[in-house]
Amino acid sequence: MREPVVVGNWKMHTTLVEARALAEGVRDGCRGLTGVRVVLCPPFTALGAVSQVLAGSAIQAGAQDCHWATQGAYTGAVSPAQIVDAGARTVIVGHSERRAIFGETDEMVGQKVAAALAAGLVPLVCVGETGAERAAGRTNAVVERQVRAALQDRSAEEIGRAWLAYEPVWAIGTWQAATPAQAAEVHARLREIVAELATSSVAQRCPILYGGSLKPDSAPALFAEADVDGGLVGGASLKAVDFVEIVRAAPSAKGRTGSPIH
Ligand code: PEP
C-alpha cells in the first residue's frame, strides 16, 4: 500500500524569520502523526534554515526547482548537488508556473528529472492542463505528453524513485479545486502511463499527488480517491494550522492513522 505524501510549496514567500517559524509550526503540529510523508519546499534562501529546523523530525525539506547541470556558468540557477548540500531530499520539477512564466519546456523538464535523479533527489514531476485544454477535451493528451517527456528516457529503476503531481493549471491559486472524480480519472491514466514507461509494480508504488487549491475542506474527499496519494499544497501551506490539517487528512482518508513518528 502506498504511503500518502503531502508537500508544501511556499513559492516566493517568507523571509528567513517567517520560514523558520512556519517550519517550526508544521513540525510541531505534525508531532505524533504517522502514515504520511511530509515535505516542505521553501524558497532557496531559506532551504538551509528550514532543513535545520526539520533535522531530527520525520519531515523533510525540498526545493522548488533545480537546474540540469551539475555546476557552471548558469547565473541565478541552483544545481541538484547544491540542493542536496542544503539538506533537501526532494525537488519539484516542471511546475506550471515554471513552464508558463519562465518558458520551461518539456525537454528541460526531462533534463531536470535526469539531473535530480543522478544527484539522489526525488523529482516531484508536475503535469496538468490549462482550462482551455480541458475545455477542448485535451486533458489526457496534455498530461500524457508531459509525463512521457519527463520520464521516457529514464530506466524503470529511476522512474521508481520519482513522484508525480497532477496539478490542473485552472485549479492553481483559484479556490476551485478539481472534483474528486476529475482528479481520479487523470490519476488513473497517469498510473497507466507510468506502467507503460516502467512496470506495473513501479506504477503501483508511485505516489501521484493532487495539487490545485487544496484546502482543509477540499482535501479529505480528494485524498479518499484510490489513486490520489496525497497532495501538493501552495497557498494553504503558508499557514501552519491549515497545512497540518491537510496533512492529517491524508492518512485518515487512507485508513492509516497511527502512532507518533518522533
Ligand atoms: C501549486 O502551485 O503547486 C499549488 C497547488 O497552489 P495552490 O494550492 O495555491 O493552488
CA dihedral 126, 132, 136, 142 (to 10 degrees): -20
* pLDDT tens for each residue of 88-136: 999 999 999 999 999 999 999 999 999 999 999 999 999 999 999 999 9
Please list every protein residue whose CB sits less than 6 Å from any atom of ligand 1: 9, 167, 172-173, 211-214, 232-236
Whether 44 and 78 have beta carbons less than 8 Å apart is answered as yes
**Cβ contact 4:30 at 8 Å:** no
Active site residue 245: no
The residue whose CA is least distant from atom 6 of ligand 1 is: 234
> Residue 105, Cα to own-chain centre: how many angstroms?
18
Is this model's pTM higher than 0.95 or not?
A: yes
Rounded CA-CA distance 109/211 in Å is 18
| Centre of ligand 1 from the C-alpha of residue 112, in Å | 21
Q: Is 95 a catalytic residue?
A: yes
pLDDT per residue as tens digits for the range 199-250: 999 999 999 999 999 999 999 999 999 999 999 999 999 999 999 999 999 9
Distance 68 CA to ligand 1 centre (A): 24
Q: Nearest 5 degrees, angle CA 208-CA 213-CA 218?
A: 80
Question: Which residue has a Cα nearest atom 4 of ligand 1?
Answer: 234
Which residues in the chain belong to E strands, given as ranges? 5-9, 37-41, 60-63, 88-93, 122-127, 163-166, 208-211, 230-233
Which residue type sits at 127? Answer: V
Q: Distance of alpha carbon 141 from its chain centroid, rounded?
A: 21
